[in-house]
Amino acid sequence: MDIDQTLLQNLTETNSRFRKLFEEHNLFEKQLLEYDKKGFLSPQEELEKNKVKKMKLSGKDEMEKIIQSVTA
């Protein structure tokens, strides 16, 4: 997601849903980095990693819709 930092700051300050999605996105990114640091993932960890990826993507899609509605 490549957006103007001013727009990003404005949305996180004024749109509670966007702020929540943005915070979750950052949390999911950190979780994925932790999984990537491990040399080997158990089958359960692989499932959890894939679940986090899907939630991150879903949140990103919703954030992009919010951005489009504001910039349109």
The predicted structure's pLDDT at residue 35: 96
Hunting for tokens 């949305």 — which residue is that? 11
The predicted structure's pLDDT at residue 52: 98
Determine whether 38 is exposed, middle or buried from the number of CB atoms within 10 Å of its CB (0-12, 13-18, 19+): exposed
Per-residue pLDDT reduced to its tens digit, 10-54: 999 999 999 999 999 999 999 999 999 998 999 999 999 999 999
What secondary structure does DSSP assign to the chain, as a single string?
----HHHHHHHHHH-HHHHHHHHHHHHHHHHHHHHHHSS---HHHHHHHHHHHHHHHHHHHHHHHHHHHHH-
